[in-house]
Amino acid sequence: MASFSNSFQAHHHSASEVPLFSPEPNRDFLSKPKTSTIQSPIPVQLHEISSTDSRAITRTPSPTPSEAEELQKKTSIGTIDWSKLRDPRNWWYWVIGIIIVVLVILFVVYRDDIINWLEPAAHWLHDTPGGWLVPIAIMIIISFPPLFGHEIVAMLCGLVWGLGIGFLIVAAGTIIGEMANLYVFRYFFSERSKRYEKNIAYACLVRVIQDGGFRIALLIRYSLIPPHFTTTIFAVCGMSSLTFLASAVLSLPKQLVVVYLGDSLAQEADGDASRTERIVNGVVITVGIVVGIVAIRYINRKINEVKPQVIYERRKARQQQKLSAAMSSGSSNTTSV
């Protein structure tokens, strides 16, 4: 009994020493393996938006009516849009066309009288020291849109100074004026010029220039698009000054044709023009027109090739604007709560 009592006492514990609950077993081996958390590609703020609004934001917006219309038709620049001429709201197209036709007819009919009328001013420019600076200054001024008249000044230079010196004067005025136009629009009117990209045809032309580089820039120079208009586009596109200068220099033969016409007019007025020279004049004019038409047709084809992508990017830009607005709205609601 003594041994049993001692054994019982050895295994006996006070109530304070006996735990009321058994310790929690280690369940690590039962837990699921830890996995890395994957970040949702949809911003957290979008979870606070209704499912209907979320689908509207994440879906690419449909083309606007104007974009849908542009996708259904061929876009062309530098050519006559006969559909616009039928619209009474574009009456000023007819006014400009009638004025041009009247001026051409008057020049052809009264060509000799016009040359004789300009003869005193031509002699003064030719004989006055530094007179050649006058047409250069005029060409620099009219290089800025919406002014125009380069061809008239170039023809007068050929009429006054002949083909050689006249072309050098026109080349100087053209290069200086175009470079000045480029830098002014690049540094002072870049934001305003970029707003023109809301026009789909303008935006497509910008894309064609950006993708084509020097080759497209030179083709545009030879096309029927006015040079001072293309210069503003080159400034918006971020074209380098060296590329712009090279395209302007290599397109000077286009100005040479106009100077040659002025020189031939002076020879005809003096009675020195032969039948061969008249034929050459016709060939020069025809070649210039054909080159301009071929260049503008190629540019228009490239414009229509990039147009679907340009419109798609405009749609994605609208989607991004909606997404940013939804995120900012969700952030403001969370902050207010």
Q: Which range among 22-26, 212-216, 252-256 shows the weakest confidence by mean pLDDT?
A: 22-26
Contact indicator for 156, 167 with CB cutoff of 8 Å:
no
Higher pLDDT, 17 or 312: 312
pLDDT at 176 over 90: yes
The mean predicted confidence, pLDDT, of the chain is 76
The predicted pLDDT at position 82 comes to 65
- Does the pLDDT of residue 133 top 90, yes or no? yes
Under the phi-then-psi rule, with left for phi > 0, alpha for psi from -120 to 50, and beta for the rest, what region is 213? Answer: left
Question: Do 263 and 159 touch, CB atoms closer than 8 A?
Answer: yes
- Residue 175: which pLDDT band, with cuts at 50, 70 and 90? very high
Mean pLDDT of the 126-140 span? 91
Angle of helix 227-237 versus helix 200-212 axis, rounded to 10:
70
Classify burial at 274, counting beta carbons within 10 Å of its beta carbon; exposed 0-12, middle 13-18, buried 19 or more.
exposed
Lowest mean pLDDT among 77-91, 144-158, 215-229: 77-91
CA distance 222 to 250: 10
By the 8 A CB rule, do 152 and 145 touch? no
H or E segment at 116?
A: helix 111-127
Angle at alpha carbon of residue 195, lines to 194 and 200, rounded to 5°? 95
**Predicted pLDDT at 15:** 44
| pLDDT score of 23 | 47
136 pLDDT above the threshold of 90: yes
CA pair distance 171, 177, nearest whole angstrom: 10
* Residue 227 DSSP code: H
- Max CA separation in the chain (angstroms): 158
Q: What is the pLDDT of residue 124?
A: 87
pLDDT value at residue 116: 77
Q: Is 12's pLDDT higher than 60?
A: no
What is the C-alpha R_g of the chain?
38
pLDDT of 58 higher than 80: no
Residues 164-171, mean pLDDT to the nearest whole number: 94
Q: Which of 23-27, 196-200, 247-251, 299-303 has the lowest mean pLDDT?
A: 23-27
Q: How far apart are CA 161 and CA 180, in angstroms?
A: 25
At 70-87, the pLDDT tens digits run 888 888 776 666 666 676
Q: What mean pLDDT comes out for the span 185-195? A: 75
pLDDT: which is higher, 255 or 7 = 255
- Report the pLDDT averaged over residues 292-320: 88
Higher pLDDT, 109 or 37: 109
Distance CA 152, CA 159 (A): 10
- Tokens 């609950």 belong to 21
How much is the pLDDT for 5? Answer: 46
What pLDDT is stored for residue 51 in this prediction?
52
pLDDT level of residue 32 (50, 70, 90 thresholds)? very low
Which residue carries 């870049």 as its tokens? 190
Helices 111-127 and 91-109 sit at what angle, rounded to 10 degrees? Answer: 80
Per residue in 235-266, is it b (16+ CB within 10 Å) or e — as a string? bbbebeeeebeebbeebeebbbbbbbbbbbbb
Q: Which two tokens stand for residue 4?
A: 């049993």
pLDDT at residue 105 above 60?
A: yes
Q: Express the helix, strand and coil content of the chain in percent, nearest 5 each.
A: 75, 0, 25
Amino acid at site 296: I
Return the pLDDT at 304: 92
Q: What is the pLDDT of residues 272-298, one digit of tens each?
A: 656 776 777 778 778 888 888 888 889
Q: Rounded to the nearest 10 degrees, how much is the dihedral formed by the CA atoms of 272, 105, 257, 276?
A: -40
What the block records as the tokens of 69 is 């219309």
The reported pTM is 0.68
119 pLDDT tier (thresholds 50, 70, 90): confident
Q: Measured at the alpha carbon of residue 213, what is the angle toward residues 212 and 219, in degrees to the nearest 5?
A: 75
Q: Are 204 and 194 in contact (CB under 8 A)?
A: no
